[in-house]
């Protein structure tokens, strides 16, 4: 239901390139920053610009994931849609949009605007609301006069006729009609659409928000974190040969005989080169590296049994201290 709401909202308010990217994120669950360009056959700069725009719109997030095992880096950026957060963002924006349209309609219905004839000819700034227009009233006619013109012509030897600076009520029917049309268009666009047989052609945003709100006892909406999806085997696999450490990983596999020199699966089985984005490998096949002071990567292999010896050396002193303490207690 959340995916349907996000897809419908994207089609209602955004351009085609945004809609396509949203659909890919909903289908694949996430996109790696370093392999999304060849995957979608689009320039990486254009994709990052669109994703950053969606991140500013609070529709897309990114998570830094350790993707060394698949040929990436220790901080590979994964773009994804946080379903829970995005649903709340859509609900808030629809509410604010309705509030803005209702305020515009109320303002058009309740406000009155008075203009001085000199305002159109740019001889004065006589534009007043209903309260300010009542400051100066002609005692003979009971009509409202422009305050600026009254002060200007107070000591004038030949003042113009009062009709020339008597305020006139502006007809705001056009503004009211525009506000009501905006309300109607938004209501139609965000509601469900039915065909001639009363069958739904599309689901409306209002209906989807109501369904998400009215589900009681259901599981909370997932955050769709890439790290959680990867651990459960959900999402797209990395394209072979992409990633910051893909070359190092391929050389290591060739050295171990998993793949041949031409990238075809070797002793480790067929399709070894495509195992870069595939399932889990043995611990001995994992790539491990550190960085030196200038940021260069230093690859190294873990010696078999080295971890056990290191642990023994680290705990040897503590074991000796416990034996000495026990002996001291017996002597005492």
pLDDT digits (tens, 9 = 90+) for 142-181: 888 888 888 888 888 888 888 888 888 777 778 888 888 8
Q: Report the candidate in 142, 158, 155, 151 with the shortest Cα–Cα distance to residue 118.
A: 151
Task: Quote the tokens at residue 58.
Answer: 């609070």
Among 21-35, 97-111, 160-174, 307-321, name the one with the lowest average pLDDT.
307-321
Task: Tell me the percentage of the chain whose pLDDT exceeds 70.
Answer: 69
Q: For residue 56, what pLDDT is reported?
A: 92
Q: What is the DSSP letter of 77?
A: E
Indicate the pTM of the whole model: 0.60
200 strand-pairing partners: 194
DSSP E strands, the chain: 31-32, 61-65, 76-80, 113-115, 127-129, 168-170, 193-194, 200-202, 289-291, 297-299
Neighbours of 9 (CB within 10 A): 22
Q: Are residues 274 and 238 in contact, defined by beta-carbon separation less than 8 angstroms?
A: no
State yes or no: pLDDT of 96 exceeds 90.
yes
């Amino acid at each position: 239901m959340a995916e349907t709401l996000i897809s419908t909202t994207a089609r209602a308010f955004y351009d085609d390139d945004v809609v396509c990217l949203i659909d890919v994120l909903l289908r694949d669950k996430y996109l790696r920053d370093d392999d999304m360009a060849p995957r979608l056959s689009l320039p990486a700069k254009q994709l990052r610009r669109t994703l950053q725009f969606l991140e500013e719109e609070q529709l897309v997030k990114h998570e830094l994931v350790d993707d060394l095992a698949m040929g990436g880096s220790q901080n590979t950026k994964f773009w994804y849609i946080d379903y829970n957060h995005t649903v709340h963002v859509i609900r808030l924006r629809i509410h604010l949009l309705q509030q803005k349209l209702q305020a515009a309609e109320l303002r058009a219905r309740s406000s009155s605007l008075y203009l001085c004839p000199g305002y159109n000819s740019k001889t004065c700034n006589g534009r007043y609301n209903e309260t300010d227009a009542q400051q100066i009233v002609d005692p003979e006619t009971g009509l409202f006069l422009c305050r600026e013109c009254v002060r200007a012509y107070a000591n004038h030897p030949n003042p113009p006729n009062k009709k020339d600076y008597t305020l006139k009520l502006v007809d705001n029917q056009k503004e009211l009609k525009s506000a009501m049309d905006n309300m109607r268009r938004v209501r139609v666009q965000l509601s469900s659409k039915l065909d001639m047989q009363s069958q739904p052609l599309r689901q409306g945003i209002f209906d989807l928000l109501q369904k998400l709100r009215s589900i009681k006892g259901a599981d909370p909406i997932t955050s769709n974190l890439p790290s959680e999806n990867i651990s459960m085997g959900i999402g797209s696999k990395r394209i072979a040969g992409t990633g910051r450490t893909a070359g190092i990983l391929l050389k290591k596999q060739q050295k171990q005989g998993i793949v041949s020199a031409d990238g075809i699966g070797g002793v480790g089985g067929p399709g070894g080169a495509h195992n870069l984005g595939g399932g889990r490998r043995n611990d001995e096949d994992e790539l491990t590296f550190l960085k030196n002071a200038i940021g260069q990567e230093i690859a190294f292999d873990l010696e078999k049994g080295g971890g056990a010896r290191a642990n023994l050396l680290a705990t040897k002193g503590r074991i000796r201290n416990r034996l000495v303490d026990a002996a001291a207690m017996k002597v005492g």
